[in-house]
Amino acid sequence: NCSANQGCDEQFLGDQFNAGATEISGVELSLNYQVDVADYEIPFQLNYTYTDAYFKNNHTSKMWGMVTAGDEIPYIANNQLALSTGIIRHNISINIQGKYTADTPTKAGSNDNLIPSRTVWDLSTKYKISDKQAIYLTIDNLFDKQYIANRSNGGIQVGKPQSIQIGFNATF
């Protein structure tokens, strides 16, 4: 199914395409660990995904153009990594997370117009007023990294710029 957020050209929006024979395999790894020091909790989390996705046959596609067996399937990054850590003390927590995405192809059989790799950092903090109420602050894209998120519909779509949210959570 072709939609604007999947990298389809405008003329193909709403159409469905058969990618032909494909092979998609990979490995996911998740590690979690927490260190307790006095009144502090220090959590660590690491998530890694390796994906090998490629076409298994030669064909011509309206969406992908000329496809040769062995071409990578566009818009699937081979490597993705997320690392987070923080500190928790009583009712206050602070967390930082970095997310890495490897170079990502946008066309079958071509390294032209790759989406370059990127690492984006986020920060969050929360203060629990009670078991049912909390205030929080989040900063997405902490260092205001400028990056390409998508190459479709005739142009570059930029990634999310730095954003700051302040809020209040209540559970009933």
Read off the pLDDT of each residue in 105-116 and give the average, rounded to a whole number: 86
User: What pLDDT does residue 102 have?
Assistant: 97
Among 58-72, 87-101, 119-133, where is mean pLDDT lowest?
Answer: 58-72
User: What pLDDT does residue 46 have?
Assistant: 98
Indicate if the pLDDT at residue 145 is higher than 60: yes
pTM score of the predicted model: 0.85
| Residue 61 or residue 97, greater confidence | 97
- Chain centroid to Cα 48, Å, comes to 11
User: What pLDDT does residue 76 have?
Assistant: 93
CA geometry: angle 63, 64, 65, nearest 5 deg: 100
Of 101, 53, 50, whose CA–CA distance to 73 is shortest? 53
Indicate if the pLDDT at residue 1 is higher than 60: no
Read off the pLDDT of each residue in 73-96 and give the average, rounded to a whole number: 96
